[in-house]
């Protein structure tokens, strides 16, 4: 058994629309699902510590999925957790005043999905990180939330999980 662990964004919760949609896909693909609750934790470092704690107790291989601040958290934790892969949605990289906190790329497969019309985190931040990390970057005709492209997001997530199983 393998597990997908979700990290939600700053303003959302552990079982928001995107996570529920992707969790269904993961379960249909034969993966167990976890979603950590960071509500009330505004400090990204605290969130990273919680995810690292989860990773250290994991008994099966896992994938980390993160959205917005959760993308930053997943990438930061991945450097010490050794996930099978990272699937990041509009990750909070290179934000003004926090550029130095953008995590180095871990040595695992990474897919980043970002909306062209994101008015919170510029899509250019994801393409920059993607170039540095040799990640697959997908830009969709959407905004920060990516809710209006859930079918496309689901297709990319399915592709990502299936590619990991081939490695």
The predicted pLDDT at position 80 comes to 93
The predicted pLDDT at position 30 comes to 96
Q: What are the residue ranges in the chain where pLDDT is below 70?
A: none
Angstrom distance (rounded) from CA 164 to CA 15 = 24
Closest-CA residue to 90 (of 126, 119, 65):
126
Write the class of the CATH domain 3-166: alpha beta
pTM of the model: 0.97
**Cα 73 to chain centroid, rounded:** 8
Q: Where are the domains of the chain?
A: 3-166
Angstrom distance (rounded) from CA 148 to CA 1 = 31
Positive/negative CA dihedral, 14, 16, 20, 21: negative
């Amino acid at each position: 058994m393998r597990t997908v662990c979700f990290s939600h964004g700053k303003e959302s919760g552990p079982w928001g629309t995107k996570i529920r949609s992707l969790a269904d896909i993961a379960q249909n693909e034969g993966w167990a699902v976890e979603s950590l609750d960071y509500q009330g934790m505004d400090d990204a470092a605290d969130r990273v510590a919680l995810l690292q704690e989860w990773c250290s107790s994991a008994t099966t291989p896992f994938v980390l999925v993160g959205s917005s601040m959760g993308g930053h958290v997943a990438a930061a934790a991945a450097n010490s957790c050794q996930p099978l892969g990272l699937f990041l949605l509009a990750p909070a990289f290179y934000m003004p005043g926090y550029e130095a906190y953008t995590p180095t790329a871990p040595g695992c497969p990474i897919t980043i999905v970002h909306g062209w019309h994101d008015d919170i985190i510029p899509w250019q931040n994801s393409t920059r990180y993607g170039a540095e990390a040799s990640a697959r970057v997908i830009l969709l005709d959407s905004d920060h939330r990516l809710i209006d492209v859930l079918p496309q997001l689901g297709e990319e997530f399915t592709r990502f999980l299936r590619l990991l199983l081939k490695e």
